[in-house]
A = this chain, B = another copy of it.
Amino acid sequence: MLDVCLAGTAGMVPLPNRWLTTLYASCEGSSLLIDCGEGTQIALAESGLRLKPIDVICITHFHADHIAGLPGLLLSMGNIGRTDPVTIVGPSGLRHVLQGLLVIAGGLPFDIGVVEIDPDGDEIRNGFVQCGRMLIKAFAADHVIPCLGYTVEIKRPGMFLADKAEALGIPKEYWSRLQHGETVTVPSSAGLTSAAGPDGRTVDAAHTSGTTFMPSAVMGPERRGIKILYSTDTRPVPEMAELGRGADLMILEGNYESDEQIDKAIEWGHMTFPEAAETASDAGAQELWLTHFSQSIEDPENFADNARAIFRNTVVGHDGLRKTIDFKDPDPSVPQE
């Protein structure tokens, strides 16, 4: 399962009652942060989210409201005893920006890994970053400066086919390893029965003392996992619907409340409530959260219908909005022996 919390929902300017947009996602002890504007470490504290498990920080782009909080956050992570490396992901030029910002964050007690992604490059389609079980992919957004959107997925292996494993004569002590994606070699002496068929089994030529099984021999087809898509500071782009196809949750900006501001939205590279709703609808997403509200919108909830008329399952974001997304049926990663 994936826990997500939208700890801030403001765009451009942090307000006394609205933190800058930031998303915290966690799964089995690893946490991921997307964007880190001024005050994000306080926003996380207010939402009761822990800094120490943050393994990966993804930055959409280099406008201050999305990255200015990074030095303070990293220093605070160091102060509370983080020593494991932290990976920072962002558009090309990230290394240069970090060199600048970290001039006030010397002596961090952990290493920083930097992953630069060229929004216009070919690699963006195949590259990914792992954060525990979370698989992070980027796509090119369409803003006034280079900008990335992100999908976060938890892949889900197929069901473990116990009948098949038994038919293959694989001793039970090997089941869990196969279930977790490991290829195993069962020694001849381990009680492999003659019932074992050729399906998925390869005899190890070099070591005839055993038989090697790949997970595919005993696992059903990959099942539906969990997927969220996050994109702010962008015009609608086709990749959102493509990559967000059937997403459990799309988190998109509603920088402007209605299409009356469409000219400004185009000029400044942002989306309106209706545009975000159309994007979620095109993607066939389960749910949409709106965020990154212009400071001119006092209460975004007042304009919820502008989105709900197009995509019914729209939630107007507020600081601290959270949700646990479960797999749709029992998690097969829990051993079923």
Within 8 Å CB of A203, what residues of B?
none
Quick one: closest B residue to A39, CB to CB?
Answer: B39
Q: State which residues 53-89 of A face B: CB under 8 Å.
A: 62-65, 67-69, 71-72, 75-76, 79
Per-position contact with B for A95-124: 1 when CB-CB < 8 Å, else 0?
Answer: 011011111110000000000000000000
The smallest beta-carbon distance between A295 and chain B, in angstroms, is 9
- A13 at the A/B interface (Cβ < 8 Å)? yes
**21 A–B contacts, CB within 8 A, in A order:** A13-B76, A13-B79, A14-B39, A14-B42, A15-B42, A15-B45, A16-B42, A16-B46, A38-B41, A38-B71, A38-B72, A39-B42, A64-B75, A64-B104, A64-B105, A65-B72, A68-B71, A96-B103, A100-B101, A100-B104, A101-B104
Structural contact, B64 and A72, CB atoms closer than 8 A: yes
Quick one: closest B residue to A96, CB to CB?
Answer: B103
Within 8 Å CB of A97, what residues of B?
103-104
Q: How many copies does the complex hold?
A: 2
- Complex Cα–Cα for A41 and B75 (A): 20
The smallest beta-carbon distance between A43 and chain B, in angstroms, is 9
Contacts known (A64-B72, A64-B105, A65-B72); A79 close to B42, Cβ less than 8 A = no
Per-position contact with B for A1-31: 1 when CB-CB < 8 Å, else 0?
Answer: 0000000000011111000000000000000
Structural contact, A103 and B104, CB atoms closer than 8 A: no
Structural contact, A72 and B14, CB atoms closer than 8 A: yes
Contacts known (A13-B79, A16-B45, A64-B75); A69 close to B103, Cβ less than 8 A = no
Quick one: closest B residue to A47, CB to CB?
Answer: B16
Structural contact, B104 and A63, CB atoms closer than 8 A: yes
Within 8 Å CB of A99, what residues of B?
100
Contacts known (A38-B38, A68-B68, A68-B71); A12 close to B100, Cβ less than 8 A = no
- Complex Cα–Cα for A71 and B101 (A): 10
Quick one: closest B residue to A10, CB to CB?
Answer: B42
- Complex Cα–Cα for A50 and B13 (A): 15
